Structure 1
Amino acid sequence: MHQDSANAIRDRVRNLIGDIGEGIYEREETAAVALLSVLSGQSVFMYGPPGTAKSLIARRISCAFTDTEYFEHLMQRFSTPEDVFGPVSISELRQDRYARKTELYLPSADIAFLDEIWKSSPAILNTLLTIVNERKFRNGGVLEDVPLKALIAASNEFPPVGSGLEALYDRFIVRLKVSPVRDRANFERMVSTSRAADSVVSAHAFSTAEWKDMMTAAELVSVPTAVFDIVDRIKTAIDGYNGKMAPADRIYVSDRRWQKAFSVIRNAAYLDGRDEVAPADLLLLCHCLWSKECEIEITEKMVIAAVSETAMADRGASDSWKASFAEFEREVRGAMFHKRTVYESVPIGGAECIRCAGTVKDFYDQWDLTLYIPACRMYSGDPDPGIPFDDNGNPAKGFSFRVVSGPAEDPERMKVEIRKTYNDSGFDTEPVIKHRAGDVKEITERETRTFAAAAGRLMDEISGMIADAESRVVSLSAASGSIFTSGVKREAMLSAADCHIAGLRDDRARVDNIIDMVKARGNLRSTRGA
């Protein structure tokens, strides 16, 4: 596409969106995406309570074309096919032919709006399915072409479960939730002005011939592999969600809806002046994947998360780096810090033992006594009594010991109770702590060099991933200014990407901390050596 032509189309559509959205507060995105859906030849469903400008948006969108035949009808239980498709022709009946007079009714319209669509009768809705799907209308014995560009429907409810309307609902590729005005300033402006005009006259409207040319040109818009990667992440997220839900609560997106949604996305890129779909264009899927109100927020989060991952470091490289760093951190901390509290011990009888010395009082006598207990009992937490050893490693007959945990403020300050077995006299002692868990160990010069080199490699890798992610965010941001995407969704997407970069920076800070620790231990060793 020639750049001048691309800019002209983009500016024209932007101005058209402005004309249609004038005075429609907080529904600018709804109007823009609904217009996109119609320009893409896809039907759109607006869901929301009465009085939220759904009808107004539909009427305004019909003004996007210079030669529009517009049809509108409020559906109800008592609506008949004649109300929508036209009355039966009396003159044709006189000639024994059944046909409807469709002029000024839906079969002759190129933009149609059906309000409260699900309140209609099955006879009407079944006929609509053929019109929307095939752009054909069976008028008596003749199958007539329908000039319908798109059907716009609205309701404050969804098709009843089990009503057989799933096929028709699935033809509404774009689904838009329309809510009342919430911002106070917008509310004040709304109630302070007169009612917005149902129709607008726009100098930027398209003719049907121009529309057909744009539809044809949009089919040539390319979809890069990176975009399909994002869609695959979205589909994976939906599958993961569905795997946790009961069948009735699962999100279902038909192959047809995926295909038609890509038609909308291609048109969005073309009308935005581009010949290739950008990752940010996929934010439009927020309006294509849900079928129930409870799915709106869920699918939006899935889409935004998947698109924002475009700015993230390669998942495989990131996971590999994290695994390497975790192993490196364990190795460094294992070499530099004691993993557990260790007590002073001496070898007795071929085993490491804890020396326990104290004074034993026995009736009218007392004496100093030194016994030994296995060091392993200090670490096992075994509260059962045991038999201590004498200096020669022989069992000290007539004595027993028990290991008691330290106080709550220092549970590692354990106590050993030495008792005579026949009268419970004896003494208590606290074994000397050689070093506590977390105390720094001495490391060799070779270990210092090895750790510093490994940390340097990890630092180079994480710095490269950060630079790559920052570059991706710049590219994503530059390509996220679609005229059909709201600023709120763009900000949410870029915010998620920024959070990812912040996480990478935190990882880099952890490497920095280890480098500082290694350098500090190296300096300390050099000082001691001097």
Structure 2
Amino acid sequence: MSQTLRNKMLARMEEVRAQVAERDELIEIIAIALLTRKNVFILGDTGQAKSAVINLFRAGITGANQFERLMSKQTDEEALFGRLDLSSLIPGGVPEEVLEKDQHYQELRRKLETALQTGGPDSASQLADLTAEMEQYRKALAELHSGEPRIITKGKLPDSHIVFLDEIFKAADGILNALLTALNERRYTNEGKTIHIPAISFFSASNEIPNFANPEEKILKPLYDRFELKVVTEYVEDRDARLTILKQKQAAQGTAQNPSAVISLAELQAMQDEVLQVRVPDQVNELMDDVLCELRGKGIHISDRKYFNYAPIAQAKAWLSGRDTVEPSDLTTLCAYLWTAPEERTIIQSTLERMCNDPLKDRLDTILAEAVEGYQEFTDTADAPAARRIGKLRDEFMSLYITLSQMLSNAQSDAEREKINACLEELERYSKEAHASVQYSYVPLRELYDLKTS
């Protein structure tokens, strides 16, 4: 891992953070999106610096072609993707794209321009020779390329690395399919010709999410789903933070501030390669599966596709933290990846924090809760035969004991072993109390396990 590259990204984030207030989550998500080639949607009321943060951040990415458009029903495909080059369809015509990329033709053109500027007694003859040579060469190019439909994409979306489509849900129905393919597959097809789009990330912002229950707006749901990362902004709450930004803006009136912490396109691509090398341990994947089951159990819809593709987000978070291995706490940043409806955020974030900031404690608490539930059922069924009650409880406790024993053998530190042993002691205490209540001889769970496995 290159510390220099990481420091550059952190410096870009910090420079943006210094110019806005209470936008830490958004800034980090923009960085993660660029590191993982994901798309970002920002939801918030007008005047909450949604567009400003995006623009501030991307202003520091040098060498990257950037495209921005405020979407409306009047925005057509040509405005986004470029127009058809009619010269490419005319017999004998040469597409402008071909002429621009042909080095020999451009060299002839430069010579012709020089001859026109310098003049002189032999200029007429020289101009005639150059013009004839260019015309002959142009005809040769026409033989090779005439009749191939070409799209003039220069300065448009297919020519861009970072794309900001503000108010994307106001797009006309006629361009939705083209937008869907661009966001999901990074390609555009027109007149039978498919163009690869080099876009790293698409960004959009709005003060509302379409009502997908409305038949007229349901068509926008696939477009919404193409934004893997979503952030909600609020108005600045802290008084000191508001005043700090207010004073900065008043002091900077009339002056343009160029970014000082910049990242080149090549450096960004190198960062992306490093993020892919961050290791995801099995225990993190297992924890993520536990999170999935927990959230689905709470009624949060998370698709298999989303679950199977969570890793890059966690890898980017670990990379930003200076680590080459994902830790459980890195999963807490997945809230922006997992929510679909804004009201889901609180449940998802609290679940992630509880399960991922101290996953061992959460798992031990779950095991103890199962032990307490089993013991409570044992005491509530006092009228049932003692042998059946103690036998059922013993089987349940043995299953929990086996789980704890496996966790103990996989413990990574003395602190983890201490917590697991404390849980084992608590389990033994409940078992001993249960045996005493029905006057059965108590055999420690460890000895029962040894007898069972011998």
Q: Tell whether the structures are fold-level matches, with TM greater than 0.5.
A: yes
**Map of 2:100 onto structure 1:** none
* Structure number, greater radius of gyration: 1
Match of 1:202 among 235, 256, 260: 260
Q: Which runs of 5+ in 1 are unaligned?
A: 243-250, 331-460, 475-499, 515-530
**Does residue 81 in structure 1 map to residue 58 in structure 2?**
no
**Map of 1:293 onto structure 2:** 342
Contact 2:13 2:57 survives alignment (8 Å): no
**Does residue 9 in structure 1 map to residue 64 in structure 2?**
no
Contact 1:170 1:257 survives alignment (8 Å): no
Contact 2:180 2:223 survives alignment (8 Å): yes
Aligned to 1:228, the other structure's residue is in SS state: helix
From the superposition, tell whether residues 472 and 23 of structure 1 become closer, same or farther in structure 2 (CA, over 3 Å): farther
**Map of 1:215 onto structure 2:** 272
Match of 1:241 among 298, 317, 324: 298
From the superposition, tell whether residues 136 and 168 of structure 1 become closer, same or farther in structure 2 (CA, over 3 Å): same
Contact 2:296 2:302 survives alignment (8 Å): no
From the superposition, tell whether residues 316 and 111 of structure 1 become closer, same or farther in structure 2 (CA, over 3 Å): closer
From the superposition, tell whether residues 318 and 200 of structure 1 become closer, same or farther in structure 2 (CA, over 3 Å): farther
From the superposition, tell whether residues 318 and 194 of structure 1 become closer, same or farther in structure 2 (CA, over 3 Å): same
Aligned to 1:165, the other structure's residue is in SS state: helix
**Map of 1:26 onto structure 2:** 22
- C-alpha separation between the residues in 1 aligned to 2:269 and 2:258? 22
**Does residue 307 in structure 1 map to residue 356 in structure 2?**
yes
Aligned to 2:229, the other structure's residue is in SS state: strand
Percent pairwise identity: 29
Contact 1:63 1:199 survives alignment (8 Å): no
**Map of 1:66 onto structure 2:** 62
From the superposition, tell whether residues 300 and 92 of structure 1 become closer, same or farther in structure 2 (CA, over 3 Å): same
**Map of 1:485 onto structure 2:** none
Q: CA deviation at 1:268?
A: 2.2
- Structure 2 matches for 1:359-508, cutoff 5 A? 471=415
RMSD between aligned residues: 3.6
Contact 1:137 1:146 survives alignment (8 Å): yes
Aligned to 1:193, the other structure's residue is in SS state: helix
The residue identity in structure 2 corresponding to 1:216 is D
The residue identity in structure 2 corresponding to 1:318 is L
- C-alpha separation between the residues in 2 aligned to 1:91 and 1:468? 68
Contact 2:280 2:311 survives alignment (8 Å): no
From the superposition, tell whether residues 201 and 308 of structure 1 become closer, same or farther in structure 2 (CA, over 3 Å): closer
The residue identity in structure 1 corresponding to 2:188 is F
- C-alpha separation between the residues in 2 aligned to 1:143 and 1:214? 29
Aligned to 2:260, the other structure's residue is in SS state: coil
**Map of 1:135 onto structure 2:** 186
The residue identity in structure 2 corresponding to 1:178 is T
Aligned to 1:38, the other structure's residue is in SS state: helix
**Map of 1:160 onto structure 2:** 211
Per-residue CA distance 1:462-487 (angstroms, 9 max, x = gap): xx9xx99993599xxxxxxxxxxxxx
**Does residue 265 in structure 1 map to residue 323 in structure 2?**
no
From the superposition, tell whether residues 100 and 282 of structure 1 become closer, same or farther in structure 2 (CA, over 3 Å): same
- C-alpha separation between the residues in 2 aligned to 1:207 and 1:137? 26
The residue identity in structure 2 corresponding to 1:224 is P
- C-alpha separation between the residues in 1 aligned to 2:83 and 2:22? 40
**Map of 1:224 onto structure 2:** 281
Give the structure with the larger strand fraction: 1
**Does residue 145 in structure 1 map to residue 196 in structure 2?**
yes
**Map of 1:188 onto structure 2:** 243
**Map of 2:119 onto structure 1:** none
Aligned to 2:210, the other structure's residue is in SS state: coil
**Map of 1:447 onto structure 2:** none
Aligned to 2:325, the other structure's residue is in SS state: coil
The residue identity in structure 2 corresponding to 1:107 is P
Contact 1:42 1:260 survives alignment (8 Å): no
The residue identity in structure 1 corresponding to 2:227 is F
Aligned to 1:164, the other structure's residue is in SS state: helix
From the superposition, tell whether residues 470 and 50 of structure 1 become closer, same or farther in structure 2 (CA, over 3 Å): farther
TM-score, length-normalised on structure 2?
A: 0.65
Contact 1:311 1:470 survives alignment (8 Å): no
**Map of 1:524 onto structure 2:** none
Give the structure with the larger helix fraction: 2
Q: CA deviation at 1:150?
A: 0.4
Which segments of structure 1 move beyond 4 Å, counting only runs of 4 or more? 93-99, 195-200, 319-330, 467-470
**Does residue 120 in structure 1 map to residue 171 in structure 2?**
yes
**Map of 1:276 onto structure 2:** 325
Aligned to 1:84, the other structure's residue is in SS state: helix
- C-alpha separation between the residues in 2 aligned to 1:234 and 1:256? 15
**Map of 1:108 onto structure 2:** 159
From the superposition, tell whether residues 472 and 24 of structure 1 become closer, same or farther in structure 2 (CA, over 3 Å): farther
Per-residue CA distance 1:360-417 (angstroms, 9 max, x = gap): xxxxxxxxxxxxxxxxxxxxxxxxxxxxxxxxxxxxxxxxxxxxxxxxxxxxxxxxxx
**Does residue 41 in structure 1 map to residue 98 in structure 2?**
no
- C-alpha separation between the residues in 1 aligned to 2:174 and 2:416? 52
Q: CA deviation at 1:321?
A: 6.0
Match of 2:50 among 54, 59, 69: 54
- C-alpha separation between the residues in 1 aligned to 2:377 and 2:173? 65
Q: CA deviation at 1:20?
A: 2.0
**Map of 2:99 onto structure 1:** none
The residue identity in structure 1 corresponding to 2:231 is L
The number of aligned residues is: 336
- C-alpha separation between the residues in 1 aligned to 2:293 and 2:416? 22
Q: CA deviation at 1:78?
A: 2.0
Q: CA deviation at 1:140?
A: 2.8
